[in-house]
């Protein structure tokens, strides 16, 4: 079982849930013959603080073999202190990796108007934590989407239905090797 644990970017905010990248992932897994079920425990507006508080229950309830953590964007958009975001992600990665689970961390970036120091520090959190925890990493979920208004909703923050397959294409090449290891 794959647990997707994220915020509005994974919860299909503003579009039909079955058109979101997580539902597209479930369809791809089925089409390609993988025996994984996908549970989407993503909540719009979730921060790393809320995610860290909810994760123990989610892991106990679903008992996944693969955990995808896609959190932090709301911390950044709110300008929360980077040490807090780092500590929460660090805690979630440690907990997710127990019981020999495969963990995939999905990175985010902040727009330049947050200032160079904050945006660079925020972007650096993800590769640093992935290395420290030996987790797989998608460097930037919105790669190829965020800079294309035709793939974004009017709010400029959330991908529209046309952008969702690109999100899946950003995740799939990093996730797929984890799936093969779990099926051996």
List, for residues 117-159, the tens digit of each pLDDT value: 999 999 999 999 999 999 999 999 999 999 999 999 999 999 9
Q: For residue 8, indicate whether it is catalytic.
A: yes
Residue 170 pLDDT grade (very low, low, confident, very high; cuts 50, 70, 90): very high
* Residue from 100, 134, 155, 180 carrying the catalytic annotation: 155
For residue 81, the domain's CATH number is 3.40.50.1110
Residue 182 pLDDT grade (very low, low, confident, very high; cuts 50, 70, 90): low
The mean pLDDT value for 12-26 works out to: 98
Q: 50, 7 in Cβ contact below 8 A?
A: no
* Residue from 10, 13, 133, 158 carrying the catalytic annotation: 158
Residue 177 CB contacts under 8 Å (≥ 6 apart), including other chains: 136
The mean pLDDT value for 161-176 works out to: 98
Q: For residue 62, indicate whether it is catalytic.
A: no
pLDDT of 180 = 83
pLDDT tens per residue across span 66-121: 999 999 999 999 999 999 999 999 999 999 999 999 999 999 999 999 999 999 99
Q: For residue 155, indicate whether it is catalytic.
A: yes
pLDDT of 184 = 44
Characterize the bridge pairing of strands 2-6 and 102-106.
unpaired
Q: What is d(CA 179, CA 167) in angstroms, rounded to the nearest whole number? A: 18
Q: What is d(CA 31, CA 139) in angstroms, rounded to the nearest whole number? A: 26
Q: What is the pTM of this model?
A: 0.96
Residue 38 CB contacts under 8 Å (≥ 6 apart), including other chains: 1, 2, 4, 22, 25, 26, 29
pLDDT tens per residue across span 36-60: 999 999 999 999 999 999 999 999 9
| The total number of structural domains that make up the chain | 1
Distances (CA, A) of 70 to 33, 35, 42, 52: 25, 22, 8, 12
* Residue from 7, 8, 10, 13 carrying the catalytic annotation: 8
Residue 14 pLDDT grade (very low, low, confident, very high; cuts 50, 70, 90): very high
pLDDT of 183 = 58
For residue 112, the enclosing domain spans 2-183
Total residue count of the chain as it appears in this document: 184
Pull the structure tokens for residue 17: 């849930």
């Amino acid at each position: 079982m794959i647990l997707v644990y994220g915020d509005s970017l994974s919860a299909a905010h503003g579009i039909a849930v079955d058109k979101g990248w997580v539902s597209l992932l479930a369809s791809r897994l089925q089409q390609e013959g993988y025996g994984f079920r996908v549970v989407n425990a993503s909540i719009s507006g979730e921060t790393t603080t809320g995610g860290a508080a909810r994760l123990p229950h989610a892991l106990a309830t679903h008992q996944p073999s693969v955990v995808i953590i896609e959190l932090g964007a709301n911390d950044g958009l709110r300008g929360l202190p980077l040490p807090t975001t780092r500590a929460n992600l660090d805690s979630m990665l440690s907990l997710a990796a127990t019981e020999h689970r495969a963990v995939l961390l999905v990175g985010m970036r902040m727009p330049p108007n947050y200032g160079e120091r904050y945006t660079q520090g925020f972007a650096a959190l993800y590769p640093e934590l992935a290395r420290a925890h030996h987790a797989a990493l998608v460097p930037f979920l919105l790669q190829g989407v965020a800079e294309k208004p035709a793939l974004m909703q009017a709010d400029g923050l959330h991908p529209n239905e046309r952008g969702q397959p690109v999100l899946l294409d950003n995740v799939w090449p990093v996730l797929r090797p984890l799936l093969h290891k779990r099926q051996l």
